[in-house]
């Protein structure tokens, strides 16, 4: 078992709770309410800010041109495809300008943001990879539950969010991230403990992020 799989197994309860969350069930079933989708997307767009910065740090911290190029390509897709999805949904769901650019942040959004910015400030490749890997791998795992595209929900606000995390390029990116992470498994006990804790905390926050999307009081008025 590689380092990535080992860390996943250490927090398999939170991992499985996240990928089988009622939020995901409703999204896959096409019966997620617009209020819940809106609440989630408004917070997730703020998540995307630090996440994009983290991808930029990965470009900078990667040990080789070939690795930098992978992150650079993902950054490009994130800035186009993924951003377009958010803009389309914000328009369809009538999200006010202030909620697109500077909404009140939920507790979990703030905690995730600070976890990402802490990893960012280390500039250490394994630390940066730990957060990216959890975010992308866990999203790939819930999206894989969608199965055959023929049975996906019909509304693009639901199906596009699945497609963005369930397509051959995305799956290849997650596999690559996992191998990249395994290749820099820290031998230094302090770094190893820090990376392990970052991974674990990211999984906990992924679960809490879905919880917050279904609980209105998770976001301050």
Neighbours of 102 (CB within 10 A): 9
What CA–CA distance (Å, rounded) separates 113 from 108?
8
State the minimum distance, in angstroms, from the CB of residue 73 to ligand HMH.
Answer: 15
* Residue, CB closest to ligand HMH: 135
Note whether 89 binds ligand HMH by CB under 6 A: no
Give yes or no for residue 211 binding ligand HMH (CB under 6 A).
no
Count Cβ atoms below 10 Å from residue 16 Cβ, excluding itself: 12
Binding-site member from 15, 71, 139, 170 for ligand HMH (CB under 6 A)? 139
Binding mask 161-200 for ligand HMH (x = CB under 6 A): ----------------------------------------
206 touches ligand HMH (CB under 6 A) = yes
- Binding-site residue total for ligand HMH (CB under 6 A)? 8
Which of 47, 90, 173, 199 forms a contact with ligand HMH (CB under 6 A)?
47
Q: Does 44 bind ligand HMH (CB under 6 A)?
A: yes
Tokens, residue 42: 């408004």
**Of residues 21 and 194, the one with the C-beta less far from ligand HMH:** 21
Residue whose CB is less far from ligand HMH, 88 or 188: 88
Output 109 or 186, the one with its CB closest to ligand HMH: 109
């Amino acid at each position: 078992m590689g380092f990535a799989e080992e860390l996943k197994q250490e927090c398999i309860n939170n991992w499985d709770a996240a990928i089988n969350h009622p939020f995901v069930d409703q999204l896959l079933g096409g019966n997620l309410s617009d209020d819940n989708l809106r609440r989630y997307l408004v917070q997730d767009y703020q998540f995307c800010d630090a996440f994009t910065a983290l991808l930029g740090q990965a470009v900078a911290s990667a040990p080789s041109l070939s690795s930098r190029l992978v992150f650079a390509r993902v950054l490009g897709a994130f800035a186009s495809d993924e951003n377009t999805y958010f803009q389309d949904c914000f328009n369809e769901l009538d999200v006010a300008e202030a909620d697109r650019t500077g909404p009140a942040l939920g507790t979990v959004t703030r905690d995730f943001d600070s976890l990402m910015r802490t990893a960012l400030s280390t500039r250490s490749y394994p630390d940066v990879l730990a957060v990216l890997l959890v975010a992308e791998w866990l999203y790939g795992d819930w999206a894989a539950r969608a199965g055959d595209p023929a049975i996906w929900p019909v509304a693009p606000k639901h199906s596009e969010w699945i497609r963005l995390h369930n397509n051959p390029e995305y799956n290849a990116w997650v596999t690559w991230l996992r191998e990249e992470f395994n290749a820099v498994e820290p031998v230094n006990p302090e770094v190893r403990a820090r990376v392990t804790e970052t991974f674990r905390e990211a999984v906990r926050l992924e679960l809490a992020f879905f919880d917050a999307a279904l609980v209105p009081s998770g976001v301050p008025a």
